[in-house]
Chains A and B, each alone.
Chain A
Amino acid sequence: MFKVAYFPGCSLSSTAKEYDVATRLVCEDLEIDLVEIPEWICCGATTAHITSELTASALPAKSLIWAEKHNMTITSPCSACFSRLKMAHINMEKDAELKKEVEEVTGEKYNGKAEVLHLTRVMLEKYGIEKIKEKLKKQLKGLKIASYYGCLMTRPPEVSENDRVENPMIMDNLARALGAEPVKWAYKTECCGAAFSLTKTEIVRKLTGEILKDAKACGADLVMVACPLCHSNLDARQPEISKLLKTNFNLPVLYFTQVMGLAMGYDYMDLMLNKHFIDPKPLLKAKGII
């Protein structure tokens, strides 16, 4: 059993509740002890880092300091939270002046020792893909999965620490390990439009539409994601995008821990698969998975 400091982030108790539930279920089976950081506070998201560098670093610093104090790797299932945590860590490392200010504001010292990893890396690298395979109850045979990484899991490279920024494979490797068939497609790192979903929806419809189009054209049965905002754009916006493009994508969008959960024997309701706008039930039934 290894302990990981868990920073769920705000979406995981609201729009992405199912991501949180699936993540906790899967981690329990894998014997990864997710220790939720007590009184974790907002990572600052986009709002903080476009207004104040200090705020953008001080907010995640609180959690970094807790993880460092408890000698745990810190992780978040949300790509934006992960990015902010890691970015704050890097910025304080590079800028001693900023670090001093952050320490003044938070009233605590940060020694720069916290290891920040996205949840995918905690599971696939720290825990290990071979060990995951041992825990599987079934193979997701015949399921063609397009892994979608989006921006913040891959960019900037010094944050994501991914040496293949343009063609990441970590989730594709997971899909293969689960017995599914990873789809080779071109839009896995394209931007979905992110938070413009609320202010400039037409941009998101266009960008997300391109992503869905490519996934479909490349033969995907479903899209696998690791970010609540990507999910909401690809899933919740999908019906209106289908309508706009005069097509019907009908592409279920699942969190990677939900897909893992399926292979580990959990059923439809355990993983809260009913919460998605595009219902994956017909597909999963057709493939004999549920």
Chain B
Amino acid sequence: MARIGVFVCHCGTNIAGVVDVARVAKYAESLPGVRASIDYKYMCSDPGQNTVIEAIKKYNLDRIVVSACSPRMHEGTFRKTMERAGLNPYLMEMANIREHVSWVHSDDKELATQKAMKVMEMAVAKVRRSEALSKMYASIEKRALVIGGGIAGIQAAIDIAAAGYKVVLVEKEPSIGGRMAQLDKTFPTLDCSACILTPKMVAVAQDPNITLMTYAEVVEVCGYVGQFDVKIKQKAKSVNSKCIGCGVCITKCPNKKSLSEFNEKLAPRKAIYTPFPQAVPNVPVIDRENCTFFKTGKCKICEKVCPTGAIEYSQQDEIIKEKFGAVVVATGFNIYDHSNYGEYGYGEIKDVITSLQFERLLNSSGPTDGHVVRPSDHKEVKNVVFIQCVGSRDEAKHRPYCSRVCCMYTAKQAMLLKDHYPETQSYVFYIDIRSAGKNYEEFVQRAQNDYGVVYLRGRVSKIFERGEKLIVKGADTLSGAQVEVEADMVVLANGLEPRSHAKELAQLFHMSYDQYGFYNELHPKLAPVETAISGVYVAGCCISPKDIPDTVAQASATAAKVCALFAKEKMEVEPLIAAVNPLTCSGCETCYNVCPYSAIEMEDKEVKRGDVRHVAKVIESVCKGCGACVGSCYCKAVDLKGFSDRQVMNQIEAATQELSTKDKLQSTI
């Protein structure tokens, strides 16, 4: 007969404020096999754990139930407590009476208490059949994959490489640099974005531990932490490694029909191109969709002018298979497409531009060499209206969230405009100013006080063209007046949203994401760069909108996580996996076919002397314990350690029985 101890936690008032914990403990005493039942204020505290250990010794317990919070919180804690008490850590069950009971049933304390008793009783029923399990270990491929070559991916790659591990950095564009490379200056210090970014880009290129794969995409992922098998598609660049980056091919290319993605379509680019002058690697690619040769079969000028014979039209897309122990996903953001805003002209008014376009106009290596001119007629501007929260904080556009950086970059852009052109006047329409950050509020104040930027609290209802001017009609809710500004240009603070292929990438890794496509962290506070998929970490704006310092901090955090994983010789893995009983296995291969992890192999095994049969076998290091094979087995030959059919049946029986009469009597007293 099992000797079970039940430990009921108050969690301060988190549980005890709703659930009558003493009654739960008292009820436990009535259950078969329970030799001790104790309630305590904080079971996870040192004294709480000591109470458990003392009770185990005093009552000679061989297994326990901790009735407290979610196993995601403290299962690890109490498994260690078991070890300290000299028991097998897998002879412990958590009964979650906090998240599953007190937090969700605070409106009915009596029913909550009854449910808590049931949840505890189920755990007792399960632990009665628990078996001692021993820890398992798996090997780790000590190479990291970083997806996305923006500042987040760059920082993560540099930090992981600095610890001595190999990194492959995959970027879908022809150069790393990402969004930060497009920015002119950065708030609140106004240092030049490229000046602080390019040294890091160069560091990536020069680091012997980092393999850079640009113009490449991850297309398939298998495996699990320590052993990810990843297929990467290297798109054909049409330029081989003989390229010395002289740029003659770009200069001579006669085809400039495409618009530069890097310059936010404000300027044309050639069919053979590098996105920007400081590109890393400084190797151009041919945009085959727009290249004259690829379209018509004639031209080949780049091949003729190339001094090193680096042009290679016959290059093919290539699939490269690699093995990685961990993955950092840092795919960044897109900006909201304002063609959904009819009041701002459905994206059809040329001089209503996006914030990123304005960055390119400000930038001295931008399409206008830093001259802020109107895209429509290239005239200089005098009055500029900035509109905040375009695709942010707008329920009507299904973007209720704040994009966090727009208040700051708008203040920055208005200040830079004034720096470039002292004669200009800026107006900012805003909802609230959100400037939480070191030196941020001071920065916005400077824009208002020293740069004379006029802040109008209200939304713009309409923008339309009148002659050469743009008429911006809006409300100033502080004075209660309707305002009309005659502007030369309107700059929209487009909100941030995930990259368009964010969801597809998440699906490759089985990562979860929210309704917008932002990746979900494992825990929003305590595991902000981990995901529900172990070994896959996330950083930067693919999780939620954030500024550069936060992005860099997150990137370094993912590197710390990867390094901590790689620092171990072997990785401890849960022994909660499937096992086949060869004596009852019929060899039907159903489990082999349903296993999503390819963790089952078929073998011919001598199950009894002289009786060789075709049976299934679980590859222990690959099995993730999902239970698909258990459910599919016709002969009940597969079972899951720690979740055996018998344990689960006993739990169901405990759940469906009436509460024992003993408690009912008590509750009426």
Measured between beta carbons, the chain A residues less than 8 angstroms from B465 are: 186
A interface residue numbers (CB < 8 A to B): 164-167, 186, 214, 217
Q: Is there a chain A Cβ closer than 8 Å to B76's Cβ?
A: no
Shortest CB distance A232–B (Å): 25
Shortest CB distance A165–B (Å): 6
User: With A164-B342, A166-B342 given, can you name 8 additional A-B contacts, CB distance below 8 Å?
Assistant: A164-B346, A165-B342, A166-B346, A166-B462, A167-B342, A167-B345, A186-B471, A217-B466
| Pairwise interchain contact A166-B343, C-beta atoms closer than 8 A | yes
Query: How far is B467's CA from A214's CA once the two chains are assembled, in angstroms?
Result: 11
Measured between beta carbons, the chain A residues less than 8 angstroms from B343 are: 166
Measured between beta carbons, the chain B residues less than 8 angstroms from A214 are: 466
Q: Is there a chain A Cβ closer than 8 Å to B464's Cβ?
A: yes
Shortest CB distance A158–B (Å): 12
B interface residue numbers (CB < 8 A to A): 342-343, 345-346, 462, 464-466, 471
Query: How far is B342's CA from A164's CA once the two chains are assembled, in angstroms?
Result: 7
Query: How far is B345's CA from A214's CA once the two chains are assembled, in angstroms?
Result: 17
| Pairwise interchain contact A186-B346, C-beta atoms closer than 8 A | no
Tell me the total A-B contact number using a CB cutoff of 8 A: 18
The 5 A-B residue pairs whose C-beta atoms are closest, nearest first, are A166-B342, A186-B464, A166-B343, A165-B342, A164-B342
Query: How far is B585's CA from A178's CA once the two chains are assembled, in angstroms?
Result: 81
Query: How far is B346's CA from A164's CA once the two chains are assembled, in angstroms?
Result: 8
Can you give 14 contacting A-B residue pairs, CB < 8 Å?
A165-B342, A166-B342, A166-B345, A166-B462, A167-B342, A167-B345, A167-B346, A186-B462, A186-B464, A186-B465, A186-B466, A186-B471, A214-B466, A217-B466
Query: How far is B346's CA from A167's CA once the two chains are assembled, in angstroms?
Result: 9
Query: How far is B346's CA from A217's CA once the two chains are assembled, in angstroms?
Result: 23
Measured between beta carbons, the chain B residues less than 8 angstroms from A165 are: 342
Most A-side CB within 10 Å, residue of B342, B343, B471 = B342
Measured between beta carbons, the chain B residues less than 8 angstroms from A164 are: 342, 346
Query: How far is B25's CA from A115's CA once the two chains are assembled, in angstroms?
Result: 65
Query: How far is B342's CA from A66's CA once the two chains are assembled, in angstroms?
Result: 37
Query: How far is B471's CA from A164's CA once the two chains are assembled, in angstroms?
Result: 19
Shortest CB distance A195–B (Å): 21
Measured between beta carbons, the chain A residues less than 8 angstroms from B346 are: 164, 166-167
Query: How far is B462's CA from A186's CA once the two chains are assembled, in angstroms?
Result: 9
Shortest CB distance B343–A (Å): 5
Measured between beta carbons, the chain A residues less than 8 angstroms from B466 are: 186, 214, 217
Most B-side CB within 10 Å, residue of A164, A166, A167 = A166
Query: How far is B341's CA from A165's CA once the two chains are assembled, in angstroms?
Result: 10
Query: How far is B164's CA from A44's CA once the two chains are assembled, in angstroms?
Result: 78
Shortest CB distance B635–A (Å): 53
A189 closest partner in B (C-beta) = B462
Measured between beta carbons, the chain B residues less than 8 angstroms from A167 are: 342, 345-346
Measured between beta carbons, the chain A residues less than 8 angstroms from B464 are: 186
Shortest CB distance B395–A (Å): 15
Query: How far is B466's CA from A214's CA once the two chains are assembled, in angstroms?
Result: 9
Query: How far is B465's CA from A217's CA once the two chains are assembled, in angstroms?
Result: 12
Query: How far is B471's CA from A167's CA once the two chains are assembled, in angstroms?
Result: 15
Shortest CB distance A261–B (Å): 31
Shortest CB distance A97–B (Å): 26
Shortest CB distance B639–A (Å): 51
Shortest CB distance A147–B (Å): 15
Measured between beta carbons, the chain A residues less than 8 angstroms from B462 are: 166, 186
A154 closest partner in B (C-beta) = B342
A186 closest partner in B (C-beta) = B464
Query: How far is B618's CA from A221's CA once the two chains are assembled, in angstroms?
Result: 84
Shortest CB distance A277–B (Å): 27
Shortest CB distance A183–B (Å): 13
